[in-house]
Amino acid sequence: MRRLIRALLIIGTVLVTALGLTTTAHAQTGLTAEFRPGPDWGTGYAADYVITNDSAATVSGWTLAFTLPDGHRVSALWNASYTVSGQRVTVTNTSWNGDIAPGGSLTIGFNVAYSGTNSPPVDCRINDGDCTGGQGPGDDTEPPSAPGTPTVTGTTARTVSLQWTAATDNVGVTGYQVHVNGQAATETSGTTATLTGLTPDTSYQVTVRAVDAAGNLSPFSAAATARTGPDSGEPGGEYRKVGYFTQWGIYGRNYLVKDMVITGAAADLTHINYAFGNVNQQGRCFMANQTGVGDAWADYQRRFTAAESVDGVGDVYNQPLAGNFNQLKELKELYPDLKIMMSLGGWTWSKYFSDAALPQNRQAFVASCIDLFIKGNLPCIGGEPQCGTGVAAGVFDGIDLDWEWPGSEGNTGNVIRPEDKQNFTALVQEFRTQLDALSRQTGDTYELSAFLPADPAKIDAGIEVAEVMADFDFVTVQGYDLYGAWGNTTNHQAQIYSPPDDPSPTGWSGDQAIGTYLAQGAPADKLVLGVPAYGRGWAGVPSTNNGLYQTATGPAPGTWENGIEDYDVLKNRPGTRYTDAEAMAVWLYVNGQFWSYDDEATILQKMDYVKANGLGGAMIWSLDGDDGTLTGAMATGLA
């Protein structure tokens, strides 16, 4: 049976959550290793080990070892190297964090996938020293007092926020177990939490009990009754259904704005993200007609014929707005509830995002983007008559930030700074501030969203999750490009779960990515799961295991780029298709080629995952690779 998150706690102000005991281990080496478990999402959990040097001398080189219970495995680990022998995990320093100064500490983050009942690691050792120094957990048999009765501090259709008075203990309380209707939901180290993934208009009985370092459990608190709110009844329910329309799709693929009407995508979606707007070296949004720099012709100058136009009326030469922008304006007249977002950056145009986010640039950068895309003040370029003050006003309802990636590598040549992480937070706040100020002037509401990475290391390097989520309406979490022909081993490029036989040391998956954001304080209902309308392909793949997890010789040939192919091409390609129900993935194997992609069935499965986990919706990249099948499945699954 497919594994789904049933309930998850998001910590309020203290973003340290627990699924088991929190213990501090004093080894004879002078190092301590503190296990800090994070949220449990039903199939896995996030956790940290914090290693601290309590001695008076620098420790050079360290090795941490612990044993996971049967049915548990590390699915990802960052800030260190690790090996596994059976259930024993051995973690060693990297070249840059081997030395720990007196009083210094470092954090190793990791995710654990499990089946059955979760349990924390045991038999922890640091530099061959015993990790259970001081008072052993077994020496303490006195349980904590019962916590106070939970108080409901807020509800939505699928969430309940709680707080309670702390318990007391002779040694110290390390966490709290929250039970819903008599069943353990998850645990937390704080006294505030939000239950997610609940059913609308439903009553729940909630109790809490405390846990100390020895594992002693307090009596349960008195029960509180919490009732979720009714479903909103708005179009599309509470779920966002987002699709990216690419500027360049109107050329080779001949996918026009009108095609979103023909395929039914426009009727199925709540949001369309227009890809992309560029950022220049001065840290400004701008327009240009230059290959690789900008395509103002496609954006707002090209005159479409009657047959190409959404409204069936051909453009004329001197109309003030033409191109894709005008077609999107016509689309909104057909679908007035549809939101159109201007997406900035992307893989190719994130080069100067770091410059734009600098303190001396960010205010002017945000103002330039709002002036160009929200206020619609378009420059005159190349003698074309399409330009002027406010000519594109009303086309875009907000800004989508697609900086790939703050604080870590993206495309070759991208500017990267150590302070990108903090600057990204400030940039998001600046966008929110200026959009809200404009809203007070116009009376319209402007949304702010982002596309964020799946890799836990990139999240840690560039995203202050709890801080930025306060200002975003929603964010899309990358659920694809997990694997591709840049690596020589075939794998599922958009898997929800990493199966036990996945040979990748990273174990990347959609569930891992979602869990990482939840562990760092993101509200579940602001997380939108990204799904692909294309496949990743490898060539020279042996037939063993039907091509899965095999060594390839390179990328498979693609229509537009080797190693990649649109869904509407792959769906008609001959060959044998296989399904990995555990991963929620499908692949095509034919003539030594392995293609990993999503079909209608996997999209429907993923929408079940979205709903079961209280997520905010789904996004598809990109609409020009879909004939309407996948977008339709997304809408059906989120109905």
Tokens coding 141: 């048999």
What is the full DSSP assignment across 532-544? Answer: ESEEEEEES--SG
Query: Known catalytic residue: 464?
Result: no
- Helix, coil or strand: residue 285: strand
Question: What letter represents residue 186's amino acid?
Answer: T
CB neighbourhood size of 60 (10 A): 9
24: β partners: 34
Helix (H) or strand (E) holding 595: strand 593-597
Question: Which residue is catalytic, options 308, 404, 464, 565?
Answer: 404
Question: What letter represents residue 132's amino acid?
Answer: T
How far are the Cα atoms of 39, 162, 163, 169, 269 from residue 147, in angstroms, in the given order? 20, 13, 10, 11, 45
Tokens coding 287: 């327009």
**Start-end of H helices in 158-315:** 259-262, 265-268, 296
Per-residue three-class SS string for 432-501: HHHHHHHHHHHCCCCEEEEEECCCHHHHHHHCCHHHHHCCCCEEEECCCCCCCCCCCECCCCCCCCCCCC
Which residues does 136 contact at the CB level (< 8 Å), separation at least 6?
A: none
Angle at 318 between CA 313 and CA 321, to 5 degrees: 70
Terminal-residue alpha carbon distance, the chain: 23
DSSP 8-state secondary structure symbol assigned to residue 616: -
Per-residue three-class SS string for 11-63: ECCCCCCCCCCCEEEECCCCEEEEEEEEEECCCEEEEEEEEEECCCCCEECCE
Task: Find the helix packing angle between 629-637 and 600-612, rounded to 10°.
Answer: 30
Tokens coding 160: 């309940």
Question: What letter represents residue 61's amino acid?
Answer: G
Tokens coding 475: 């964010």
How far are the Cα atoms of 60, 476, 481, 492, 525 from residue 528, in angstroms, in the given order? 43, 4, 16, 20, 8
Tokens coding 83: 């090996």
- Helix, coil or strand: residue 509: coil
Strand residue runs (E) in 289-409? 289-290, 294-295, 339-345, 398-402
Q: What does the CA dihedral 610, 500, 189, 615 come to, rounded to 10 degrees?
A: -10
Which residues are marked as active site? Answer: 404
